[in-house]
Copies of this chain bind each other. A is one copy, B any other.
Amino acid sequence: MKKVRETEQAHPLFRQVYEYALNRIERGEWKSHDKLPSIRLLAEELGVHRLTVFKAYRQLTEDGKVYVKDKSGYYVSQGHGQMLVQGFDEGSGVSSYLHSNPMYDIQRIPVKYQFSLALIDPGLLPNLFLSDYVKRVFDMYPKVMGTYASVQGDEELRETLSGHFRKQQHLQLSSGELLITSGAQQAINLIARMMLGPMDSVLIERPTYSVAMDIFRRAGARLVPVEITPEGYDLDEVEALMAKHKPRMFYMNPTHHNPTGYTVPVRQRKLLVELAERYRCLLVEDDPFRDMYFEEEPPPPIFAYDTEGWVVYIGSFSKYVAPGLRICAVACRYPLMERLIKIKSLEDNGTPLLNQKIFLHYYTSPRLQQHLGKLRIALQVQKEIMEQELSQSGWQWETPGGGLTLWVKLPDGTPVDALLRKSLEHSLSFVPGSVFDPLGEMRSWLRLCYSFVSEPLLREGMQKLTALARKL
Contacts and interface: CB of A to CB of B under 8 A. Distances in A.
Interface of A: 1-4, 6-7, 9-12, 15-20, 22-24, 29, 45-46, 55, 62-63, 87-88, 90-99, 101, 104, 108, 119-120, 122-123, 125, 127-128, 130-131, 134-135, 138-139, 142-151, 182-183, 185-186, 189, 193-200, 211, 213-215, 217-220, 222-223, 244-246, 248, 280, 282, 310, 322-326, 335-336, 339, 342-343, 345-349, 352-355, 358, 438-440
A96 B150 CA distance: 22
Contact of A108 (B147, B150, B342, B348): B150
A372 to B, nearest CB: 15
Given A91-B248, A93-B196, 10 more contacts: A10-B96, A10-B220, A11-B198, A12-B22, A19-B197, A87-B310, A93-B197, A108-B150, A125-B143, A348-B348
A151 B104 contact: yes
Contacts of A244: 45
23 contacts: A1-B439, A3-B218, A7-B95, A10-B95, A19-B198, A23-B200, A29-B246, A45-B244, A87-B310, A91-B197, A93-B193, A93-B219, A101-B342, A104-B151, A108-B150, A127-B142, A131-B145, A134-B138, A149-B324, A186-B347, A214-B346, A348-B348, A354-B354
B95 A9 contact: yes
- Chain A at the B interface: mostly helix, strand, loop or mixed? helix
B2 A99 contact: yes
A87 B142 contact: no
B3 A91 contact: no
A471 B325 CA distance: 51
Contact of A352 (B123, B143, B199, B326): B326
A11 B92 contact: yes
Given A108-B150, A440-B1, A145 B324 contact: yes
Contacts of A335: 88
A58 to B, nearest CB: 10
Nearest to A130: B145
Nearest to A104: B345
Taken together, the copies of this chain in the complex come to 2
A94 B197 contact: yes
Given A182-B352, A198-B11, A217-B4, A245 B45 contact: yes
A208 B39 CA distance: 32
B193 A348 contact: no
A88 B18 CA distance: 29
Contacts of A211: 346, 349
A110 B347 CA distance: 23
B282 A87 contact: yes
Given A193-B97, A342-B98, A200 B20 contact: yes
A71 to B, nearest CB: 23
B146 A324 contact: yes
A353 B150 CA distance: 21
Contacts of A139: 131
Interface centre among A92, A128, A214, by most chain B C-beta atoms within 10 angstroms, is A92
A242 B20 CA distance: 16
A190 to B, nearest CB: 10
Contacts of A325: 145, 352, 354
Given A130-B145, A138-B135, A355-B355, A183 B119 contact: no
Given A7-B220, A214-B346, A122 B146 contact: yes
A324 B16 CA distance: 39
Nearest to A349: B185
Sorted nearest first, the 9 A-B pairs with minimum C-beta distance are A122-B146, A131-B138, A20-B199, A92-B197, A145-B322, A87-B280, A125-B146, A145-B324, A122-B143
Most chain B CB inside 10 Å of its own CB: which residue of A1, A310, A352: A352
A370 to B, nearest CB: 17
A17 B146 CA distance: 49
A189 B145 CA distance: 23
